[in-house]
Structure 1
C-alpha cells in the first residue's frame, strides 16, 4: 500500500503559556499543502524499515514511522511489514513532515490489517507520537490549541491562491526555537483573523517564532521580504521554522529565483 504524507502550514502561531508538563500552549491554524513524502507499507517475512530521498538524521530505530508501527503492533499483534519512506519534505522546517509520516503510517496499517479504527481512535494513537501528528489523520484545516493536538474545525478555504514554500537549508530544532520564546496572551482572536480576507493578514496574523529567530537567522527575514516584494498577499515562517511561505492570489506570475541549496515547493491550494 502506498500513500503520500503531506506537509502543513501554520497560518499564525501564538505561544500563549508554559505548561506544567514542560510543553507550551499555543494557538495556530493548521492548513495542509501538497508537498509530499512517499510512504509504502507491504507485508513482509520480517520487520524492515528503509529510507531514500533526503537523508534523515538520527537512529532509524527512533523514527516516528517505526514507533507508529510498534504502537499498533503492541495492541493488535500485527504481522511483520516492510515500511519504506522516500523523504521529500525537509526536516527542521516547521512543515510537520515527520508527524505526517507517523500519522499516515497509522492510517496505512489500519487499512492493510483491516483494524477498522475510527478517525477518533487513530487521533488518540497519533497524539502519543507527537503534538501535531493527530492533525494529519483528518488532514483538514483546523484551529489547533493546547499543545497543538486539540482541534476545532474552521471554515477556511484558500482555493484560488497559489503557495510558494521555501526551505533555506537551516535546520532549527524544537528546543532551539522554544528556547528564546516568551509566551504571551494574544492581542487578537486568531480564529477570527484567519477568516478575514487574506489581504488583512499581513499586519495582524503573526508567528511568534519570527521575533525569536529572525535576529539570529537574517536569511529568514530576507526570504519573507522577498516574497512580499514578489507580490505575496501574505508571507510568514511556518511552525518553529525555518521554511517561509508566501500566498499569492491566482497563479504565480513572477519568476522567483532562490539559491541552489534552497528547497522550493510551488502549487495551488
Structure 2
C-alpha cells in the first residue's frame, strides 16, 4: 500500500505570547500543498524502515513514520511491516514534512489493517507525535492556535493559483527562529483572511519569524524578494523557515533567471 504525504505552508504566523510552560502561543493558517513524499508499507517477516531521496540522518527507530507504527502497536496486535519512505519534502524548511509522513502513516495503517479508528482517534495519536501532526489527518486549510495544536477550519481556496516553494541550501533551527522574537497581539485577525483579496495580503498578513530570521539569514529575505520580482501576488517565509513560497496568478516563466542554481524549487 502506498500513500503520498504532502507538505503545508503557513499563511501568516503570529507569535502571540509566551506561556508559563516556556512555549509560545501562535496563530497561523496551515494550507496543504501538492509537494509530497511517497510512503509504502508491506507486510514482512520483521519490521524495518528504509528511505530514498533526500538523505535521512536519524536512526530508523527515531523516524516519525516508525514512531507512528510503534504507537499503534501499543494498542493493536499488528504484524511486522516493511516501511519505505521516498523523501522529497526538504527538512528544516517549515513545510511540515515529518509531521505529514507520520500522520499519513497513521491513516494508512488504520486502513490497511482495518483498525476502525475514527478521525478524532487518529488525531489523538498524531498529537502524541507532534503539535502540527493532527492537521494532516484532515489535511484541509486550517486556522491553528495555541502551540499550533488547536484547529479551526477556514475557507481558503488557492486552486486557481500556482504556488512556488523555494528552499535555500540550509535550514533554520527553532531556537534560531525565536531569537529576538517579541510576542505581541496581531493587528490582523487571520480568521478573516477569506474576506480579504489576496492582493491585500502583502500589507497585513505577516510571518513574525521573518523579523528574526531575515537579519540572521539575508539569503532567505532575498529569495522572498525575488519571488515578488517574478510576479508573485503574495510571498512569505513558511513557518520558521528556511523555505519561502510565492503565490502566482500565472506560471512565472522567467523564474529560473531570478533564482541562483543549487536551490530547491517546487512549482
TM bracket, shorter-chain basis: over 0.9
**Using the alignment, how far apart are the partners of 2:179 and 2:57 within structure 1?**
21
Structure 1 equivalent of residue 66 of structure 2 = 66
Q: Is the 8 A contact 1:156 1:195 kept in 2?
A: no
Shift of 1:194: 4.7
Aligned Cα RMSD in Å? Answer: 1.2
Shift of 1:165: 0.3
Shift of 1:158: 1.0
1:240 aligns with 2:240: yes
Structure 1 equivalent of residue 21 of structure 2 = 21
Matches within 5 A, 1:1-269: 1-257=1-257, 258-266=259-267
Q: Is the 8 A contact 2:230 2:252 kept in 1?
A: no
Tell me, which stretches of 5 or more residues in structure 1 are unaligned? none
**1:166 counterpart SS class:** strand
**Using the alignment, how far apart are the partners of 1:67 and 1:115 within structure 2?**
17
**1:256 counterpart SS class:** helix
**Using the alignment, how far apart are the partners of 2:60 and 2:20 within structure 1?**
31
Shift of 1:79: 1.4
Compare 28-37 and 18-27 and name the one that shifted more. Answer: 18-27
Compare 64-73 and 180-189 and name the one that shifted more. Answer: 180-189
Tell me, which stretches of 5 or more residues in structure 2 are unaligned? none
Give deviations 1:31-65, integer Å, cap 9, x for gaps. 00010100011111111011111012232221111
**Using the alignment, how far apart are the partners of 2:19 and 2:113 within structure 1?**
37
**1:72 counterpart SS class:** helix
**Using the alignment, how far apart are the partners of 1:252 and 1:261 within structure 2?**
19
**Using the alignment, how far apart are the partners of 2:74 and 2:179 within structure 1?**
35
**Using the alignment, how far apart are the partners of 2:167 and 2:266 within structure 1?**
9
Give deviations 1:129-155, integer Å, cap 9, x for gaps. 001111100100010111111110111
- The TM-score with structure 2 as length reference comes to 0.96
